[in-house]
Amino acid sequence: MSDRKLALVTGGSRGIGRAVCVKLAEIGMDIVFSYQSDAPAAEETERLCEEKGARVLKVQADVSNSDQCDRLIAQASWFGGGHIDVLVNNAGITRDGLTMRMKNEDFDAVVNVNLKGTFYMMRGVSRFMIRARRGRIVNMSSVVGVRGNAGQLNYAASKSGVIGMTKSLAKELASRGITVNAVAPGFIETDMTGKMTANARDASLAEIPMGGAGRVEDVACAVAFFAGEESRYITGQVLCVDGGMAI
């Protein structure tokens, strides 16, 4: 049995999630990650983590489905020999549009993945962490959850909700040696931002005091900090990785 810590990362097949998996593997953790449908991309994440010396398990799971979250958690716990040391709730989607034209389905889809998915995962994994009296939970919020954004009311609701859940669970679990923090990326080059219109992209980039987009590794380093020992006395916090957007 490995004495490496086990990290469970949702949405690890690409983008920020993949960078988080690789970074946590690099700092000595074994990795279980979920992916929604892109098996070849998941295999690439697996290969990159194994190159860093990690044991890796990839699991196909839709985080908006609570049964699939429970199955994912059970598989992670089995892989970790009964332990899940770190949970990173990274999976997320956007369905942008102005509020007056936003369909119920677009609101629900975003809340189901970003907010409810994070809840299902935190509820399931916290049971293991409470038993072990240790653990790190890191939730992916967004600068949009901190300051709002025109055309992203649904996404802002979900990502502000993630911050509220982070602070609430941090209070519930603080006495058990478990920290719960959030990372709020600004504009990071991934498939998600690649879908934006040229106008929306230019408007967002113009708002970044440091100029230019961030890299997935910038976010992964912040997650690794909250996942590691150095952050042991920090809980309920939101760290913006945004080149100054939220100032």
Task: Kindly list the catalytic residues.
Answer: 155
Q: Which is nearer to ligand NAD, 194 or 233 (CB)?
A: 194
Partners of 140 in beta bridges: 183
Residue with token string 């504009």:
187
Question: At its nearest, how many Å lie between ligand NAD and the CB of residue 91?
Answer: 3
Our finding on whether 166 is near ligand NAD (CB under 6 A) is no
Q: Which of residues 2-31 bind ligand NAD (CB under 6 A)?
A: 10-11, 13-17
- Determine the distance from the C-alpha atom of residue 37 to the mean position of all C-alpha atoms in its chain, rounded to a whole number: 17
The CB density around residue 127, as the number of other CB atoms within 10 Å, is: 12
Per-residue x/- track, 116-155, ligand NAD (CB under 6 A): ------------------------x-x-------------
Residue with token string 């690890």:
12
Q: Which is nearer to ligand NAD, 104 or 175 (CB)?
A: 104
What stretches of the chain show up as alpha helix (H) in DSSP?
15-26, 39-51, 66-79, 104-110, 117-132, 143-147, 153-173, 191-194, 198-206, 216-227
Distance between CA atoms of 185 and 172, rounded to whole angstroms?
25
- Residue from 9, 24, 188, 246 binding ligand NAD (CB under 6 A): 188
Per-residue x/- track, 191-220, ligand NAD (CB under 6 A): xxx---------------------------
Our finding on whether 93 is near ligand NAD (CB under 6 A) is yes
Question: At its nearest, how many Å lie between ligand NAD and the CB of residue 220?
Answer: 10
Residue 130 tokens read as 């409470």
- Sequence-distant (6+) residues with CB within 8 A of 230 are none
Q: Which is nearer to ligand NAD, 134 or 147 (CB)?
A: 147
- In DSSP notation, 165-194 reads HHHHHHHHHGGGTEEEEEEEE-SB-SHHHH
- Residue from 5, 21, 22, 35 binding ligand NAD (CB under 6 A): 35
Residue with token string 């042991």:
232
Our finding on whether 62 is near ligand NAD (CB under 6 A) is yes
Question: At its nearest, how many Å lie between ligand NAD and the CB of residue 169?
Answer: 17
Please report, for residues 119, 122, 139, 158, 161, the alpha-carbon distance to residue 6 in angstroms, rounded to integers and kept in the order given.
20, 15, 16, 27, 26
Q: Which is nearer to ligand NAD, 4 or 217 (CB)?
A: 217
Our finding on whether 64 is near ligand NAD (CB under 6 A) is yes
Name the site residues for ligand NAD (rule: CB under 6 A): 10-11, 13-17, 34-36, 62-64, 90-93, 113, 140, 142, 185, 187-188, 190-193
